[in-house]
Amino acid sequence: MNVLLIIVDDLRPVLGCYGDKLVKSPNIDQLASQSMVFSNAYAQQAVCAPSRVSFLTGRRPDTTRLYDFYSYWRVHAGNYSTMPQYFKENGYMTLSVGKVFHPGISSNYSDDYPYSWSIPPFHPSAEKHENDKTCRGKDGKLYANLVCPVNVTEMPGGTLPDIQSTEEAIHLLNIMKTNRQKFFLAVGYHKPHIPLRYPQEFLKLYPLENITLAPDPWMPKKLPSVAYNPWMDIRQRDDVKALNVSFPYGALPDDFQRQIRQSYYAAVSYLDVQVGLLLNALDNVGLSNNTVVVFTADHGWSLGEHGEWAKYSNFDVATRVPLMFYVPGMTTSPVSQGARVFPYLDPFNHIGGSAPQGQSKKVVELVSLFSTLAELAGLQVPPACPEMSFGVVLCTEGTSIVHYFNVSERMVEEGKEGCNDTDRCFKEEPFAFSQYPRPADTPQWNSDKPKLKDIRIMGYSMRTIDYRYTLWVQFDPNNFSANFEDVHAGELYIMENDPNQDNNVYYNTSHGWFSKKILDFLKH
């Protein structure tokens, strides 16, 4: 099997296939209709570089020792193999287009080439204009705004980065068809990462009067201040600066909140078009019948929930991601050569969604992607990492989730009743672990993205189907150690009656069992 890995930046699961009634995402929904879709998938840290290095190496942030953007794991932690490197060593042509690794120091200024990729990674030339003043204001002048619908023909080079990435990925698929070599192609899309810069016609899909505010646009009363993210990157945009919102808890005006949400959805539909063109090209080159397609994001994004924007937190809106796997012959019946699996769907005139082929509510983690993809491609699954794995080149800290593909949810639920093997029961009630660093107990200018030397507190979150439990504990950046004897704050949300995580019951519930679980896990 070939592999096409699609990684989206800052995409929470606002998609038709995840039950969103407003968002128009026909092409991603069509992929879901042929895929195994995980409705409870979580990133290990809700910020770009740490999340990507984590799932591309199959190691957690405490093992990659990357919580910011400023170190390269091979030098700073251990010379760990990556998922594309493993495929490359097993005879695959490995190709990177767009934002796969986070660019910069965290991937050695080379996207980890030549370790991970067969040829130098492709970056769209328009990428360098992402934060330029290209957004036309009401006064006709150009600004570096957060909300930025544009006329593409007026953009530098007359294009946008994701359009260029799609074109390059299609070009590579055509070469792969000619070469007849098995490939691992990773395509990283920028949108809906800020600035929300997308072709202006997508606004037509989302009339402002249809846009609501977040269901809980206030900071929860019992939220510890250490857990709050003050969305500094948004405050630095020209249109937000002009609103002069007080730091750290001042709210954005309601009408501007609606505009952000409208533009986020418009950017998602623009992204959906790119995914549709890419998958249609997979059909065109006749490779849909022997290519595994994975679609996911590096983390989510708050759209005003809890009075927060951006990522930078342990809330579900920041850590939960879409995750789906199309595996010909497994998630669908075998596809005959030349059959159309992914005809392009135009979001402007496509009516009606398509339900996922299979859906699992099991809680899963992005750190499991490496072992899962290895198993789906028929490669030997890398071994589980030992307790101390800094010197181990090839191992993963995430277990393959392929065993969830064929088991009906009903059977798994029934299987839990007669469960007497504690270890097996633990595996059947899966957990996702996420974490987020902070420089202080209260919001600072660098709370969202503290550099390693400034981290003083680490928030460890354990998410099960029923609850989210978080401990904010003292952290020493000099030896990367967390001190669970020194708890600064805690959060506990019971999902059944508090799905939006607004009512923190940590301080009025006994939670010895939760503490034991999180400590047991972190020790191992």
**Which tokens belong to 476?**
């020493």
Separation CA 145–CA 135 (nearest Å): 6
Query: Among candidates 84, 81, 42, 168, which has minimal Cα distance to 391?
Result: 81
Q: For the range 251-254, what are the long-range contacts, defined as Cβ-Cβ under 8 Å and sequence gap of 24 or more?
A: 251/217, 251/218, 251/307, 252/304, 252/309, 254/213
CA 422 to chain centre: 31
HSE toward the beta carbon, residue 126, CA cutoff 13 A: 23
48 is catalytic: yes
The answer to whether 269 touches 179, Cβ cutoff 8 Å, is: no
Separation CA 66–CA 477 (nearest Å): 11
Q: Considering 17, 48, 135, 395, which one is annotated as catalytic?
A: 48
Query: Among candidates 27, 105, 97, which has minimal Cα distance to 274?
Result: 27
Separation CA 500–CA 188 (nearest Å): 29
The answer to whether 472 touches 490, Cβ cutoff 8 Å, is: yes
Torsion angles phi and psi, residue 413, rounded to 5: -60, -45
Q: Considering 102, 193, 350, 488, which one is annotated as catalytic?
A: 102
Torsion angles phi and psi, residue 520, rounded to 5: -55, -45
Distances (CA, A) of 145 to 149, 236, 237, 339, 353: 10, 9, 5, 44, 33
419 is catalytic: no
**Residue numbers annotated as active site:** 48, 102
